[in-house]
Structure 1
Amino acid sequence: MLQQLTKRLLESALEGEITDHLGYDKHDPAGRGTGNSRNGTRSKTVLTDVGPVEIDVPRDRDASFEPKIVAKRQRRLDGVDEMVISLAAKGLTTGEISAHLAEVYGAEVSRQTISTITDKLIEGTVEWQNRPLDAVYPVIFIDAIHVKIRDGQVANRPIYVALAVTCEGRRDILGLWAGDGGEGAKYWLHVLTELKNRGVADVLMVVCDGLTGLPDAITTVWPQTITRTCVVHLLRNSFRYAGRQHWAAIAKTLKPVYTADRGRSPRAFRRVR
């Protein structure tokens, strides 16, 4: 998930850089006869905090474009993961994005360049956040992760994540939302309602944790949807009854239960017992 978002952020930033370098937007007639223009892209893989990310770096015809966020021959990029999450989850203001980019780029880049890059980032992020979704998804996984976000001061905030499996079997991140305080069913109702408003008419199954009130929020939005508790959360709840040194043995013992076919589940339970 973070690799996909990092790719989108980096490519948006690079598009902002080449726009500032050439002096006009992509497909803008103002670029005709300027002596230089865009010349496609080249693929490049960079190592980030979230793993390797393949990006398309824009080129210009006279090869004078020198990207800053991912410099030529640079293979390692650090410090963008928190910004990726915050930006995708609507957790940063325009001013905060500009300040973070100024930190990333350093003093060598002008304010106008930072402004151009910020506009491209916001444009790409808003387009991703509001894109239309499929009418039906077989499965949607929902959960919240907690990350440190600077909002005056650094604080842990929940980032609500919705990950779907499409009818073609592909995984698709439907969205991220930055909440305040702890994870709550009331905010999940807001998230699910937004998904429905973006076109999700029905979901066969929603997989979630055991948060109180969450099944009711799901059925409020999609009355016929089946709610199932995530196996990982079930395992974690089981681990609480034993010491850490026994967790591996418990996980191995429980596997025949949650992987058993419905017709053979009683035998699996007897074998485990």
Structure 2
Amino acid sequence: MSDRRRRWFGRPMQMVLQGVSTRRVKKITTELCGREFSRQTVSNLTEKLGEQVEAWADRPLEEEYPFLLADAMQLKIRHREAVRSATALIVVGISEEGQREILGLKIVLRETGESWKELFQELKDRGLQRVELATSDAHEGLESALREAFPGCIWNRCQAHFQRNVLDKTPADLHDQMKDLLDRTLQADSQGQAVERFEEAPDELREGASEAI
């Protein structure tokens, strides 16, 4: 990868705005506002929006967010007249009052432990601290980056990703039974109750979806 392309990726979302065609922005504004705008007006709107997004991406994190959610999203972006595959790394913070806020995101070529480390360091430089619990999928690099960035925090595997991983290993004709077992187990009030509910899995499920079990 060239140095120029490497510099472009890894920046916040304002870079994606620069890669969105004026034609597409014009179409969106027309649908939202019910009228057409000139290309110059659309260009001015995009520029102002970019400034606002940049200010948002660099804002200080003055509140405390003891709970974090981290995930990656695959997307297509337009850069240098070409559509390219990229990944958006997204971190959501949750306050003690339960208020959620997107703390930051980063556009990268692919999800790696190093890219997550860079994003977490950027958040810490902006003031993020005292993270007590972090939830994510089982991406090894992500879990490691979380533990390194926030020593002592508890890592929890995302239940939605976990269920998806289990169902991927379950034959299609047993999906309904497996989903019911997962729901009952994960919604238990205690670890002991969860074990009891899991042990109630029918033999048909244990034999037909042994890898998932």
TM-score, with structure 1 as normaliser:
0.60
**Residue of structure 1 aligned with 2:16, choices 92, 95, 105:** 92
**Residue of structure 1 aligned with 2:51, choices 113, 123, 128:** 123
Aligned partner of 2:154 in structure 1 is: 226
Residue type of the alignment partner of 1:251:
K
Residue type of the alignment partner of 1:89:
M
Unpaired segments ≥5 residues, structure 1: 1-86
Larger relative helix fraction? 2
Confirm or deny that 1:270 pairs with 2:199. Answer: yes
Residue type of the alignment partner of 2:146:
I
Confirm or deny that 1:190 pairs with 2:108. Answer: no
Cα deviation digits, residues 217-244 of structure 1 (max 9, x gap) = 1121110111111111211221232222
Give percent identity, aligned residues only: 26
SS at structure 2 position matched to 1:118: helix
Aligned partner of 2:103 in structure 1 is: 174
Label 1:95 to 1:266 Cα distance change in 2 as closer, same or farther (>3 A).
closer
Aligned partner of 2:33 in structure 1 is: none
Label 1:249 to 1:100 Cα distance change in 2 as closer, same or farther (>3 A).
same
SS at structure 2 position matched to 1:202: coil
Q: What is the Cα-based RMSD across aligned positions, in Å?
A: 2.7
Q: How many residues are paired up?
A: 185
Please give the residue correspondences for 1:21-40 in structure 2 after superposition, counting only pairs within 5 Å: none
Aligned partner of 1:132 in structure 2 is: 60
Task: Tell whether the 8 Å contact from 2:20 to 2:78 is kept in structure 1 after alignment.
Answer: no
Aligned partner of 2:4 in structure 1 is: none
Label 1:93 to 1:251 Cα distance change in 2 as closer, same or farther (>3 A).
closer
Aligned partner of 1:239 in structure 2 is: 167
* Most deviating of 169-178 and 241-250: 241-250
Unpaired segments ≥5 residues, structure 2: 1-10, 31-35, 203-213
Q: Give distance in 2, aligned partners of 1:155 and 1:223.
A: 36
* Most deviating of 189-198 and 124-133: 124-133
Aligned partner of 1:55 in structure 2 is: none
Q: Give distance in 1, aligned partners of 2:18 and 2:198.
A: 55
SS at structure 1 position matched to 2:46: helix
Residue type of the alignment partner of 2:182:
L
Structure number with the bigger relative contact order (C-alpha 8 A, sep ≥ 6) is: 2
Task: Tell whether the 8 Å contact from 1:160 to 1:178 is kept in structure 2 after alignment.
Answer: yes
- Bigger CA radius of gyration: 1
Cα deviation digits, residues 15-45 of structure 1 (max 9, x gap) = xxxxxxxxxxxxxxxxxxxxxxxxxxxxxxx
1:97 CA displacement: 5.8
Residue type of the alignment partner of 1:172:
E
1:251 CA displacement: 1.1
Residue type of the alignment partner of 1:236:
R
Q: Give distance in 1, aligned partners of 2:144 and 2:70.
A: 14
TM-score, with structure 2 as normaliser:
0.75
**Residue of structure 2 aligned with 1:258, choices 168, 176, 186:** 186
Task: Tell whether the 8 Å contact from 1:148 to 1:155 is kept in structure 2 after alignment.
Answer: yes
SS at structure 1 position matched to 2:91: strand
**Residue of structure 2 aligned with 1:159, choices 88, 91, 107:** 88
1:205 CA displacement: 0.9
1:144 CA displacement: 0.6
1:98 CA displacement: 4.8
Task: Tell whether the 8 Å contact from 2:68 to 2:134 is kept in structure 1 after alignment.
Answer: yes
Larger relative strand fraction? 1
Cα deviation digits, residues 106-136 of structure 1 (max 9, x gap) = 885152x344323321221112112222453
